Amino acid sequence: MSVIIVGGGMAGATLALALSTLSKGKLPVTLIEGSSPAGAAHPGFDSRAIALAAGTCQQLDRIGVWSALKPLATPITDIHVSDRGHLGQVSLCRDDYHIPALGNVIELHAAGKILFQRLQQAPGVTVLCPAKVASMTRSAQQVSVTLENGELLTAQTLIIASGNRSALAAEAGFSWQSEDYGQVAIIANIRSTQPHNGKAFERFTSNGPIALLPMSGNRLSLVWCVDAAQSAAILAADNGAFLQQLQREFGWRLGQFTEVGRREAYPLSLHRADTLTTHRAVVIGNAAQSLHPIAGQGFNLGLRDVMSLAENLTEAYTAHQDLGSFTVLNRYQQRRVADRATTIAITDGLVRLFANDNLPLIIGRNLGLMAMARVSGYKHQLASRTLGWVKR
């Protein structure tokens, strides 16, 4: 009994480590990755920063990974959500939930190096890097992949974590639904005159949401979602003009923005697989779904997928079940239906609610924000999703 994972980004690497830990190194895992995370070109470990919810950090701690990532992390002490030009706003504070942080911000490039160091030492895990899959075949009993160097590998199940345009996933029979939001996320690191003190911001504007995440060295990770037609001009602006425009949209809660690093742009869409499993194959990470960054749910949802899959496969291995059987893989798929559907619906709904200048919607969303600020039950529902305290 064995597992092949194709793709060593955050999802694939974390899954390999989870399987190693939960099975105590007994379940053989082969991880195939085309690029070393030490190189700047690795698509899964680029220059972006991501916010890991408190619940995600707890799960990473459970598999022994968080202790290695924690020194790289910047804790989020507070989250402030507001709607530009309107009264609605709500704040979450770690003290309200008696936890050290609402979440933590890590830089993907640094995280990739740490995860791959752990993989080299993980019992039961074989890492083939750099290596790429040339073809795959499946029979009733197993799945086989042939690498570009001609090596043939077989396993009971194939887990595809190679991104949202995975040719291998398409070959395995997966299909996707995609909806272009007509927005581009502009990513950059910035500085301001006032210290962030661990506070994160989500600011909804008529041009799209702005997220600012606290980082080490009093830097801030900016995710600025703008209309695709405007993105070229914003990207082309010199640093001074860029910061001035950002200041107008965000306001002065952090004082004046003074520096901006290299800017990158990512087109935004909702991209989700119609099914998480086919015969002896599973998709995880961006191969399963890519979400708008408006609520920071993408990787946190993906990590819940990873942990659920690792638990299901380890339980099946312990029970001497076929890891790629319909029964085992369908059990995982059914387990993930509710959380996946709810998270996608909430994220997509927020995009449509806050990217709309319709007056009734503006009034409704601001009343909602004000209600959350004043009614603890509504606020705790928001907090549960934000903190990643979600049933899986």
**Number of CB atoms found within 10 A of residue 252's CB:** 11
Give the range among 46-50, 103-107, 253-257 with minimum mean pLDDT: 46-50
Instruction: Inform me whether the pLDDT recorded for 361 exceeds 60.
Output: no
Rounded distance between C-alpha atoms, residue 90 and residue 225, angstroms: 20
Q: Which band of pLDDT confidence, cut at 50, 70 and 90, is reported for residue 347?
A: confident
Q: Which band of pLDDT confidence, cut at 50, 70 and 90, is reported for residue 42?
A: low
Q: Which band of pLDDT confidence, cut at 50, 70 and 90, is reported for residue 358?
A: very low
Query: Residue 350 corresponds to which tokens in the numbers above?
Result: 């927020």
Give the pLDDT score at 346. Answer: 82
Collapsing DSSP to helix, strand or coil, 214 comes out as strand
Q: What is the mean pLDDT of residues 348-376?
A: 52
**193 with 199: CB under 8 angstroms?**
no
Give the pLDDT score at 282. Answer: 98
Report which of 90, 117, 159, 204 is spatially closest to residue 309, judged by C-alpha positions. Answer: 159
In degrees and rounded to multiples of 5, residue 260 shows phi and psi of -140, 140
Give the range among 18-32, 88-102, 250-264, 311-325 with minimum mean pLDDT: 88-102
What digits encode the pLDDT tens for the residues 58-110?
Answer: 999 999 999 999 999 999 999 888 776 554 567 788 998 889 999 999 998 89
Distance of CA 253 to the CA centre of its chain: 27
Cβ neighbours of residue 25 closer than 8 Å, sequence gap 6 or more: 122, 123, 124
Give the pLDDT score at 375. Answer: 42
Give the pairing of strands 176-192 and 220-227. antiparallel
- Side chain identity, residue 364: G
Q: Between these two residues, 267 and 41, which has the higher pLDDT value? A: 267
Collapsing DSSP to helix, strand or coil, 19 comes out as helix
384 vs 38, 92, 241, 297, 365, CA distance in Å? 35, 11, 38, 12, 19
Cβ neighbours of residue 269 closer than 8 Å, sequence gap 6 or more: 178, 179, 180, 181, 290, 292
346 vs 136, 238, 299, 339, 343, CA distance in Å? 36, 35, 15, 11, 5
The percent of residues in the chain predicted with pLDDT above 70, rounded, is: 88
Rounded distance between C-alpha atoms, residue 24 and residue 9, angstroms: 22
Give the pLDDT score at 186. Answer: 96
Give the pLDDT score at 43. Answer: 55
Adjacency order of strands within the sheet including 103-107: 49-53, 103-107, 74-76
Instruction: Inform me whether the pLDDT recorded for 372 exceeds 70.
Output: no
Q: What is the mean pLDDT of residues 182-208?
A: 92
Instruction: Inform me whether the pLDDT recorded for 371 exceeds 70.
Output: no
- Side chain identity, residue 49: A
Buried b (16+ CB within 10 A) or exposed e, 273-311: beebbbbbbbbbbbbbbbbbbbbbbbbbbbbbbbbbbbb
What digits encode the pLDDT tens for the residues 276-311?
Answer: 999 999 999 999 999 999 778 999 999 999 999 999
Collapsing DSSP to helix, strand or coil, 41 comes out as coil
Instruction: Inform me whether the pLDDT recorded for 149 exceeds 60.
Output: yes
**371 with 378: CB under 8 angstroms?**
yes
Give the pLDDT score at 383. Answer: 65
Model pTM? 0.91
Instruction: Inform me whether the pLDDT recorded for 373 exceeds 50.
Output: no
Q: Between these two residues, 287 and 36, which has the higher pLDDT value? A: 287
Adjacency order of strands within the sheet including 281-283: 125-128, 29-32, 3-6, 157-160, 281-283, 277-278
Query: Residue 268 corresponds to which tokens in the numbers above?
Result: 């935004």
Q: What is the mean pLDDT of residues 24-50?
A: 79
The percent of residues in the chain predicted with pLDDT above 90, rounded, is: 74
Domains of the chain by start residue, with CATH: 3-50+108-177+270-354 (3.50.50.60)
Q: pLDDT averaged over the chain?
A: 89
Q: Between these two residues, 6 and 376, which has the higher pLDDT value? A: 6
Give the pLDDT score at 367. Answer: 44
**355 with 84: CB under 8 angstroms?**
no
